[in-house]
């Protein structure tokens, strides 16, 4: 009888620790944006219809150089600019930055339709409130 009690206590401790860990991980990821995601959490897809809504929800403002891409070389970055018909601005540490006169959502959608390397919005975010 004593052994059965010990096993139940150990089982309950394991369940409590696992539940605490899982809850903490969920809170950190979903509410604080820290750490890896659970594999079963829904993924949010970017579409041109809700691009402006997501931009506001993310708390960012599109930067002057509206688009960016992850690339290996500057030559690859320039090639992407030619494919999309946009202006290549700069390349540094694997990130290429582009500028366009078109709506950035339209450019991104065109690339998705044609199977071009992906472009992303270049959002500027701030954590500090500015006082004028």
Where are any strands of DSSP class E within the chain? 61-70, 87-92, 95-99, 120-124
Q: Is the confidence at residue 56, as pLDDT, over 90? A: no
Least confident stretch, 11-20, 53-62, 70-79, 83-92:
53-62
Q: How far apart are CA 109 and CA 105, in angstroms?
A: 6
Residue 95: strand, helix, or coil? strand
pLDDT in tens, 83-109: 999 999 999 888 999 988 888 888 888
pLDDT in tens, 68-78: 899 999 999 99
> What number of CA atoms fall less than 13 Å from residue 90's CA on the CB side?
6
At residue 2, the pLDDT reads 84
Indicate the pairing of strand 87-92 with strand 120-124: unpaired
Q: Which two tokens stand for residue 106?
A: 């339209």
| Residue found under tokens 């991980």 | 25
Least confident stretch, 29-38, 46-55, 61-70, 113-122:
46-55
Report yes or no on whether pTM surpasses 0.75.
no
At residue 54, the pLDDT reads 42
């Amino acid at each position: 009888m004593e052994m059965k009690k010990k096993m139940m206590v150990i089982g309950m401790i394991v369940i409590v620790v696992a539940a605490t860990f899982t809850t903490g991980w969920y809170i950190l990821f979903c509410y604080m944006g820290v750490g890896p995601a659970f594999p079963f959490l829904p993924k949010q897809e970017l579409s041109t219809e809700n691009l402006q809504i997501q931009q506001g929800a993310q708390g960012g403002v599109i930067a002057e150089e509206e688009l960016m891409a992850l690339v290996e070389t500057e030559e690859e970055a320039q090639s992407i600019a030619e494919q999309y018909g946009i202006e290549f601005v700069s390349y540094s540490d694997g990130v290429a930055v582009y500028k366009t006169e078109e709506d950035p959502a339209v450019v991104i959608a065109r690339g998705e339709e044609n199977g071009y390397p992906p472009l992303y919005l270049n959002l500027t975010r701030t954590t500090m409130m500015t006082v004028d």
